[in-house]
Structure 1
Amino acid sequence: MDKRATMIWFRNDLRLHDNEVFYQASEKSSFIIPVYCFDPRYFDRNQFGNLKTGVLRAAFVIEAVTALKEKLKSHGSDLLTYVGKPEDIIPRIAQKYQVHEVYHHREVALRETSISEKVESGLWSSKINLRHFIGHTLYHKEDLPFPIKDIPNAFSVFKKKVERESLVRQPIPLPTNFLTSPHLEDTKIPSLKDLGYSAEEIKSVDDIYILGGEDTALSIMHALLSTYPETDQDPLILGPFIASGALSPILLYQNIKKLGEGKKDKRFEKIIDILLWRDYFRFMLKKYPNIFFKPQGFNTSAPQGFPTADGDDERFDKWKSGRTEHDFINSVMIQLQKTGYIPYQARFIAASYLVHEYGVNWLRGASWYEEHLLDYSPATVYGQWSHVAGVGTSEKDNKALDWQKLIKTHFPNGLPKLDEIMVK
């Protein structure tokens, strides 16, 4: 085999296990060049004035990238890290190390795909190919019982057909041998200050111990699954690791199936259902590009009487700061700001309150979740909000939630304290 160098452009796949990009690059190349870019566009503000990445998630990502770099170093490799736009950095580094190809996982949201296109254009000017891989989902796109254009809009139909007619693949093994190109430049992982956060914002992280990275994800997964069904821990505690790619949904699923041994368990089923919704939103965003970022969503227009402008500033400020007329909503919003985490059902309750009680533009609320949630991913968060607002792609799920009933059903004793597995 010729001496071929392949760059691995890590994005939201910060792990070595079940990583096709890492496996294929390692198996087909003489050397690999792992790279991660802290793109400044993810650390500025959006149209509503909210940060695209709040300080807590930025700290979580830094931890995950640091863990990946250390793990690669333990295997005699390394991870090159930079602050800057990938379309400026990737082509330059590819030329420097005489890379033949760049591998990466394809994304689905407009911002992410547009960045990929810019990187691809920059590489092509040097006759270097950007190779796209399909990952991130529980069910591989090629294994679906229908092409993307024919995916059922109804989630219930999608779920039934996929579970009946498709199989979840086995996790991709770790490569038996991989070498990093010698004489890589020494790069440093940026601090929160380097990414533009203020001293006050950074101080808000001081009292919170952020756990991130692949090994932590695997440890929490095994601890969580081994205590089922005794534990009351919300399975969404694994969400941040799945969103950052530190934990493979396929590996999680296969571990659930192995532990369940064919027996039905409502808690296991809840995790799988969350993973299926995550798949559904990603595939819908592929079928209908940018659909979850439009005020009218899947509708031809917004519902009658529904706010399409910014909405009420005073009400939005009360909601996001936890100063509403309802104590449970306040506790949810305060916990979100302090920890970056709120339980699964609590997310829908707080979202429904903002949209249907306060009449505030749903995109504004979604952008607040985007800033603060540790497990933020574009398709899932905006897809969930679109259904709360009644403009989502699954018609039967476009309904106003009885948020008061949901509180009584899921939180009869109030919002539970956050388990110290994630934040302590």
Structure 2
Amino acid sequence: MSVLAVYCFDPRDYGKSSSGFDKTGPYRASFLIESVADLRKNLQARGSDLVVRIGKPETVLVELAKAVGAEAVYAHREVSHDEVKGEDKIDAVMKDEGLEVKYFWGSTLYHVDDLPFKLEQMPTNYGGFREKVQGLEVRKTIEALDQLRGLPARGDVEPGEIPSLVDLGLNPSATMGQNGKPAANASLVGGENEALQRLRKFAAECQAQPSKENKDGTTDSIYGANFSCKISPWLAMGCLSPRSMFDELKKSTSRTISAASGKKDGGSGTGLNWLMYELLWRDFFRFITKKYSAAKQNSATPVTACVGAAA
């Protein structure tokens, strides 16, 4: 079976918002373009390719599905308002064509189906959430295949060109400094390969750090303000998943990693344990967004991040 991997640059994600701001600025767009290029490179190395289009997903995907005679469309389940609306549009057009859209869950350390409570019963404060998931196991990731089948022969679909900033209606000069060189903000390189390199470097730095013990017997979680993997842009873009990040850290260090330890500092006090603690915060916000997005309630209990806040 052949898989047609597709990425759509949706025109609605660019241009100006109703407030007059860029929906997607040049720095984020550059990072995205690099990430898509890296994904294509990785797929090509495995014998496949990435089809890239500029257009509305509900239009592009149905055209491609019809061209190759697809049996189903697979997509990553999202939780935020605009993304959920986009999924609804795709579902509607695919249903008209008799095609099923199958969604899978990602972007969190813990799988939504593994939570020890129904989503509508999720605590509305982080402290309550953390207590509920304490001791929960992280699902193992599925190893990527070394070799993939090429693009489907039917339809003769062309991979297409990856757009430039100009193609997306953005000004490339906005990412340049006054000296004509790339600005400091443009130093981040998008893509899975860059994310893995940074993650492995961070793990090595964690192992090299001596344990700092305070007078009260506790240990510091972070050694200085700059002691961070700074991996958030890659997580947000989907270049790396929290679970693959968790697995990579376990491979890179022999220290114990506890994502939901009962200790206040998130575990044994190492930078790695603190990182897992922060991933749990990320899970909380992702799940709480899904909870209220799914409920579609006009009035709901306010979400609080403070430990001990009323649920």
What TM bracket, shorter-length normalisation? 0.7 to 0.9
Inter-partner Cα distance in structure 1 for 2:58 and 2:227: 39
Structure 1 residues 238 and 196: alpha-carbon distance in aligned structure 2, compared to 1, 3 A threshold: same
- In structure 2, relative to structure 1, the CA distance for the partners of 1:181 and 1:66 (3 Å cut) is same
Q: Which residue of 1 aligns with 2:215?
A: none
> Given the alignment, which residue of 187, 201, 220 partners 1:209?
187
Deviations 1:77-126 (A, max 9, x none): 11011111101100011101111101011000010011011111111211
The percentage of counterpart residues that share the same residue type is 32
Give the conservation status (yes or no) of the 8 Å contact 2:109–2:283. Answer: yes
Query: Is contact 2:50–2:159 with CA below 8 Å preserved after alignment?
Result: no
Distance, in Å, in 2 between the alignment partners of 1:98 and 1:189 is 24
Change (3 A) 1:162 1:134: same
What TM-score comes out, normalization by structure 1 length? 0.60
2:247 is aligned with 1:276: no
* Contact 2:108–2:242 (Cα < 8 Å) also in 1: yes
Deviation at 1:245, TM superposition (A): 1.2
For 1:190, which of 163, 169, 194 is the aligned residue? Answer: 163
Count of paired positions: 273
**Residues 230-309 of structure 1: pairs in structure 2 closer than 5 A:** 230=209, 232=224, 233-235=226-228, 237-257=230-250, 259-262=253-256, 264-289=268-293, 298-299=301-302
| Counterpart pick for 1:159 among 108, 123, 130 | 130
Q: Normalising by the residue count of structure 2, what TM-score does the alignment of the two structures yield?
A: 0.80
Structure with higher helix content: 1
1:63/1:210 contact within 8 Å kept: no
Deviation sequence 1:293-319 (CA, Å, 0-9, x none): x9x9854xxxxxxxxxxxxxxxxxxxx
Q: Is the 8 A contact 1:60 1:211 kept in 2?
A: yes
Return closer, same or farther for 1:236/1:48 CA change in 2, 3 Å cut-off.
farther
| CA distance in structure 2 between the aligned counterparts of 1:396 and 1:49, rounded to whole angstroms | 37
Q: Deviations over 1:119-154 (max 9, x none)?
A: 111112111111011111100011111110111112
Query: More relative contact order in 1 or in 2 (CA 8 Å, sep 6+)?
Result: 2
Establish whether residue 145 from structure 1 lines up as the match of residue 120 from structure 2.
no
SS at match of 2:158: coil
**TM-superposed deviation, 1:288:** 1.1
Checking the alignment, whether the CA contact within 8 Å between 1:36 and 1:79 is kept in structure 2 is yes
Q: Is the 8 A contact 1:65 1:213 kept in 2?
A: yes
Task: Say if 2:39 and 2:191, in contact at 8 Å, map to a contact too.
Answer: yes
2 CA distance for matches of 1:51 and 1:284? 27
- Map 1:18-33 to 2 at 5 A: 30-33=1-4
Partner residue, 2:264: none
Which SS does the other structure have where 1:271 is aligned?
helix
SS in 1 for 2:102: strand
- Give per-residue Cα distances to partners, 1:251-288, cap 9 Å, x unaligned: 22234345253272342232112211111111111111
Instruction: Please name the residue that 2:218 is paired with.
Output: none
Which of residues 173, 190, 205 is equivalent to 2:143?
Answer: 173
Letter in 2 for 1:393: T
* Counterpart selection for 1:70 from 34, 41, 63: 41
Code of the aligned partner of 1:286:
K
Instruction: Tell me the distance in 2 between the aligned counterparts of 1:236 and 1:47.
Output: 35
- Structure 1: runs of 5+ lacking an equivalent: 1-29, 300-391, 399-424
Q: Partner of 2:134: helix, strand, or coil?
A: helix
CA contact 1:284–1:393 (8 Å) conserved in 2? no
